[in-house]
Each structure stands twice: as structure tokens, then as C-alpha cells.
Amino acid sequence: METKRPTIPAAEEILGQYFPVLDHGFVSLVDYMGSDEDVERAARVSYGFGTRKVSQTRGLVRYLRRHRHTTPSEMVELKFHCAMPMFVARQWVRHRTASINELSARYSLMPLLFYMPQKEQFALQSQSNKQGREGGAPDEIYAEAVERWERLRHDAGDAYGWMLEEDVAREIARIDLPVSTYTQWYWKIDLHNLLHFLSLRVDHRAQWEIQQFGQVIAAMVKRVAPLSYEAWVDYDLAAEPLTRVEREVLARLVDGSDGGLATRDGAVVSAAEMKEMGLSAREIRELVEKVQTPPSQDFDLDMSSMKSADEMAELMYKAVPGNFE
């Protein structure tokens, strides 16, 4: 039967297909409801599926996002099937505005798949950011870390498999699986809250591993609602809000009274003056960063990595104790 619901060819192309993330994870767009036209229809509370020009829809979508009229984009929903290491899930789940159903390790047998960072992602503690990593790490430290991880995971997996064989309850057998173990969930969220999630999680301050998931999801949003995606990049992702004092600093440098913008001849605001105006050393660094041209960011799916649901299910099935080849 033909559907009366609006569909988006670029989204249909990837619907139900699986895109690998990290070493054993994935993201799949399971379903979506609506697109940019639905944002417009909701904003206008209009009848039927009218035929507005793309340029009109684009103008409205951009206006809404620029002025934070957010409820129309709550009318679009996306549903994903995702697999991620438990430590990534723990960051992800902090976003309370989604509906989640996670694989139950009380009910199901866990695939013994553990995240192993690649050498390029293995780094020492950042000196400037207590939540971050920085530079590389000596080869021998990485080699030993891998060896230790493998030993721990082997022991944890072995104990899990042994307890299952002894018919120990699954809810008990799983308690010492490490947070590198992959879990899975269905995750449904509206477009407004999804873009908020992406703003925080594709950002360079988020942990690299969750950024990888964010990038794939952003590329899927681009297919479902390209105009909203474009507006999000322009007004959120690549934008920075200015504080009151930051605006005062910029007003000393730039004159806007003629309708255009012009530099005030020879005007300089030194770091010492900014400090006097009330900015902390960190805020001064952040303001300097804000006025640099941001690196352009765009997200696309690697279509060559796309897998079918059956292929992905088989990989997971083979990783369950008792099903190893």
C-alpha cells in the first residue's frame, strides 16, 4: 500500500541500514516522522500538505532557529538503533529528553564486545583541560595498556561465560562486565532536542568517542531535515553567544551606527583592559577564540560502510558466549 505520509528520498535510502561507529558500535535510523516541511507546517498551523517553495521553507526554518522558536521542530521525530560502549552510553543517557529502551542484560545474553581505543586516540592526560586528553602517548605505554585491557576483558568474559554455563542468573553473571562492553538501545528524540544533543556532543570538548556517534547522527539528520541541519550548523554549531561584557569590548572596536560595520580607527582593547572590564583570564581566552573564523563543519555518511540489519545481527550473535566460532 502506498503511504500518504511525506517521505524523504535521502532518508529512505538509509532507513534500517547500519553504520559502524568505533570498533563494534553502530547507528541505524530506524524511523522518522516529518521533515523541514513539517517544521513549517507546525509553525503556520496549516492545512494539508501544501506546496511551498523550498526557498520559503528555508527562510522560515532559519528564522525559527535564529530566534529560538523551538516547538515547531519538536514536531519532527527520529528513532535510532545504536550500539555503544557503556561509558559512552552513560554520557549519552544524561540527555533526558529522549525515550530509551536498552538491551536488558538481565534478560538477554550480552555479546562480549569491548571497545579498544586505537593508538591515535590513546593519549596522556591534558595539562590544560582536566576532562581531556592531549598529544600522543609512548608506544610502549599503549602496547602495555592493550595487553592489560585484553587480560582484564578475557577474565571478565571468561567469568561471565562460566557463570552462564553454570546457569547463574544473567542479572548476576553480568555485574563485572567492564564499561568498555558494548550495550545497545533504541533511542527516539524530537529534532529540537536532538540538535541540542548534537551541539553538545559533536563539540570538541565532548569525549572523542561520543563525538563519533554524534557525527554519524548529524549526517542522518542532514538527510531527514537538510534545511534544519543547515540552520543548526549556522546558528548553533558554528555560532557563539556573546556576553554583556564581550559586547562592550566589541563595541569599542567596531562601529555599527551607519547600518554597516566599520572598525573604529586604531581602537585596541588590551587583555588588561578586558580584565578591568570584568572578564576573567579564561573568558578573555574564550572571547579571542570566539572571534576567530570557526572551522567549517559538515557531516556526511560513509555509504561504503553501510551494513544490512542481518549482517549486523549476525556480528552481534557471534559475540555471545556459546555462539563463538
Ligand X SMILES: Cc1cc2nc3c(=O)[nH]c(=O)nc-3n(C[C@H](O)[C@H](O)[C@H](O)COP(=O)(O)OP(=O)(O)OC[C@H]3O[C@@H](n4cnc5c(N)ncnc54)[C@H](O)[C@@H]3O)c2cc1C
Buried b (16+ CB within 10 A) or exposed e, 125-155: eeeeeeeebeeebeeeebeeeeeebeeebee
62 binds ligand X (CB under 6 A): no
Q: Smaller CB distance to ligand X: residue 65 or 153?
A: 65
| Least Å from the CB of residue 205 to ligand X | 4
Q: How far is it, in rounded angstroms, from Cα 82 to Cα 28?
A: 6
| Least Å from the CB of residue 119 to ligand X | 24
Name the E strands within the chain.
18-21, 25-33, 77-85, 99-102, 124-125, 133-134, 182-190, 254-255, 262-263
Residue 222, class by beta-carbon neighbours within 10 Å (0-12 exposed, 13-18 middle, 19+ buried)? buried
196 binds ligand X (CB under 6 A): yes
- Taking CB under 6 A as the criterion, which residues in 85-114 touch ligand X? 94-97
Segment contacting ligand X (CB under 6 A): 199-207, 240-248, 273-281, 304-312?
Answer: 199-207
282 binds ligand X (CB under 6 A): no
68 binds ligand X (CB under 6 A): no
Amino acid found at 25: G
Q: Smaller CB distance to ligand X: residue 112 or 195?
A: 195
Closest listed residue to residue 237, CA positions, set 283, 212, 205: 205
Segment contacting ligand X (CB under 6 A): 17-25, 79-87, 137-145, 198-206?
Answer: 198-206
Q: Given its phi and psi angles, is residue 266 left (phi above 0), alpha (psi -120 to 50 degrees) or beta?
A: left
Residues in the chain: 325
78 binds ligand X (CB under 6 A): no
Q: How far is it, in rounded angstroms, from Cα 141 to Cα 124?
A: 10
**Number of residues binding to ligand X, judged by CB under 6 A:** 9
211 binds ligand X (CB under 6 A): no
- What residues contact 43, with CB distance under 8 A and at least 6 apart? 60, 64, 69, 72
Closest listed residue to residue 223, CA positions, set 89, 48, 28, 69: 28
242 binds ligand X (CB under 6 A): no
By the 8 A CB rule, do 174 and 200 touch?
no
| Least Å from the CB of residue 319 to ligand X | 30
Known active-site residue 201: yes
* Pattern 136-175, ligand X, x by CB under 6 A: ----------------------------------------
User: Which one of the listed residues 41, 58, 65, 201 is annotated catalytic?
Assistant: 201
200 binds ligand X (CB under 6 A): yes
* Of the candidate residues 66, 205, 264, 318, the single one contacting ligand X (CB under 6 A): 205
DSSP at 294: P
Q: Smaller CB distance to ligand X: residue 66 or 90?
A: 90
Q: Smaller CB distance to ligand X: residue 7 or 97?
A: 97
Q: Which residues belong to the active site?
A: 201
Report the interface residues with ligand X, using CB under 6 A: 94-97, 193, 196, 200, 205-206
